[in-house]
Structure 1
Amino acid sequence: MSERPIAVLGECVADAFVTSPDAAPVGALGLEVFPGGGPANTAVALARLGVPTRFLGRLSQDVFGRLFRAHLDASGVDLSRAVKAAEPSTLGVADLAEDGSADFSFHAQGTADWQWRDAELAAASAGPVACLHTGSLALVREPGGAAVERLLGDVRERATVSVDPNVRPLLVDPVVYREALPRWCAATDILRLSDDDLAHLRPGAGPEEAADAFHADGAGLVVVTLGAGGVLASLRGRRVRVATPRTEVVDTVGAGDSFMAGFLHALYRAGELGGRLDGLTVERVEEALTFGTRVAAAVVAVRGANPPWAADLGLPATRG
């Protein structure tokens, strides 16, 4: 890749959806399994948009791991630094509500995604990158979470750091996120949260109040996605909001991950990534938010985390 890539660090999860009762034998539960996981979804969406993207993940050698590799590779993601892991893959089973929202039950004990060691991470992250985007469960589940957190400080010397906590209270107590968040803010340039994340991390606080607290802890740019209420961003205290496009929602799986891909894509193409965002303007942030909502709208209009390609959005289908 001739350009410095965006590196995305985190988990792959096999997302299983219950099929129609008519599609399964009597007495059995039919499942459709799709490659997912927040960081992997973001990597796929970035690559499909034409951004040089490297995935830093621990990919199992089991049937789901092979599914992940095929999906990431077909989307144009660089897997040269992905670890071939001996442990099994993580499985999430989605329970979809009538409005398309999804609650997941996870099968994640001892799986490949959480076993990072410092030496593995140093090798995976070596070399020039414009941005490291991470978060979700890989940043909090042990034994590897602490190693991922240590990496943030090292990478920040040479790249923009982006963190998306993506709170999963069924797997990790939100107290763990709340205790770690000040440290993440001190190490990150971009902090993205959903309104659900905010409810767990700062109960009762509005997005503006929360953004001020995150700024005080060190995060220069805070982005809060508010579902149908649009998106709020705060750039060192300067606010901007954009509306969510009107969209027929099939489900919301991967919406936040794809929004973040669109947002980072816009900043990357504008030449804003690589450092501390010192030259970033509110106007540029608004443009990036708007593009992120376009990408998210395309995802919620289809089943599962299936991000659009550049051509679907009228963009040149090129990478560096």
Structure 2
Amino acid sequence: MKLAAIGSNCVDYYQNMNGGTAFPGGGPVNMAVYTVRLGGESSYIGPVGNDEFGHIMYNAIQNKGVDVSHLQFKEGKTAVTQVELLNGERVFGDYDEGVLADYKLSEDDISFICSHDIVICDLWGKVERYFEELHGRGIKTAFDCATRPDDEACKVAIPYSDYVFFSNDESSIELLKEQMEEIYSRGPKLVVAMRGEKGSICYDGTDYHEMGIVYCDSVVDTMGAGDSYIAGFLNAIIQGKSIIDSMHAGAMNATETIKYFGAW
């Protein structure tokens, strides 16, 4: 698989770790890195600031083997989330989206994206308005709605997304299936609900496919688990694997990530 990951990136800045430590990430960035880990190819298309965090982001992504030829340095700040570790738990503070706030794709970016097998973005990527054009050009599209599939960005992207992912580990199965059917009615081919320790469910318009987690006896950190699942699922489905096999590939990849601290 050759994945184009577009839009959001973010530095998680841990204020009380070693006097301040920056971890680069963000959904699309994570998915690009995990795709390379799985043996595929990926590119990240998005903006960083011309500050210290921007260079940290660029170097980290490039060192993981992701194509950064369309990562842009822009005047301003890289997106940052302030994080504290309190009793081993993350507490998220202020978020500054920096140069991501007014990000736009160029025609050159769009042509480059369309040279890939599939494009992925998430709720915070600022590029959902390009999904109609990208879908129309024939590239497969995927969108991660996080926990908010009814947000405006999701409403714009979902009708032009082949694969839609969202997270919901709270609703009953009955309510979850109603939610999945409503999302499916907007246009995607497959709707995948990620349910944390409860596994995942995929709806194809006719049948529901269910998959549990792949057991891990030493969970260190769940950061990036959902992004890992998405990368694993897409890598398999693009290669022609069945829905169930793709769900299992997603679960396997998620388990690999939770064995260590941080997304990657």
Same fold by TM (over 0.5)?
yes
Distance in 2, matches of 1:14 and 1:183, equals 26
Distance in 1, matches of 2:33 and 2:139, equals 20
Question: Which runs of structure 2 are paired with 1:191-210 in the superposition (5 Å)?
Answer: 191-195=164-168, 206-210=175-179
Query: So what's the TM-score if we normalise by structure 1?
Result: 0.74
* Letter of the 2:144 counterpart: D
CA RMSD of aligned residues (A): 2.5
Distance in 2, matches of 1:240 and 1:204, equals 13
Query: Do the aligned partners of residues 137 and 14 (structure 1) sit closer, same or farther apart at CA in structure 2, a change above 3 Å counting?
Result: same
Matched with 2:222 is 252
* Letter of the 1:108 counterpart: D
Question: Which runs of structure 2 are paired with 1:28-177 in the superposition (5 Å)?
Answer: 30-95=19-84, 102-109=90-97, 111-117=98-104, 120-127=105-112, 128-138=115-125, 145=126, 148-157=127-136, 158-167=138-147, 177=150
Q: Answer with 1 or 2: which has the greater Rg.
A: 1
Give aligned pairs, total.
260
The secondary structure found in structure 2 opposite 1:105 is strand
- Which 5+ residue runs of structure 2 have no aligned equivalent? none
Task: With a CA cutoff of 8 Å and minimum separation of 6, indicate the structure with the bigger relative contact order.
Answer: 1
Which whole-Å deviations, capped at 9, do the CAs of 1:97-124 have from their partners, x for residues lacking one?
Answer: 76x7644223315x1223223xx33221
Matched with 1:10 is 7
Q: What is the CA-CA distance between 1:258 and the residue it aligns to?
A: 1.3
Q: Contact (CA 8 Å) 1:56, 1:124: kept in 2 or not?
A: yes
Q: What is the CA-CA distance between 1:180 and the residue it aligns to?
A: 4.3
Matched with 1:318 is none
Q: Contact (CA 8 Å) 1:46, 1:265: kept in 2 or not?
A: yes
Q: Which has the higher strand share?
A: 2
The secondary structure found in structure 2 opposite 1:35 is strand
- Identical amino acids, percent of aligned pairs: 23
Query: So what's the TM-score if we normalise by structure 2?
Result: 0.89
Query: Do the aligned partners of residues 300 and 41 (structure 1) sit closer, same or farther apart at CA in structure 2, a change above 3 Å counting?
Result: same
* Letter of the 2:46 counterpart: G
Which whole-Å deviations, capped at 9, do the CAs of 1:39-65 have from their partners, x for residues lacking one?
Answer: 111111112222111111112221111
Query: Do the aligned partners of residues 204 and 51 (structure 1) sit closer, same or farther apart at CA in structure 2, a change above 3 Å counting?
Result: closer
Distance in 2, matches of 1:126 and 1:299, equals 32
Distance in 1, matches of 2:21 and 2:175, equals 37
Q: What is the CA-CA distance between 1:17 and the residue it aligns to?
A: 2.8
The secondary structure found in structure 1 opposite 2:213 is coil
Distance in 2, matches of 1:101 and 1:189, equals 35
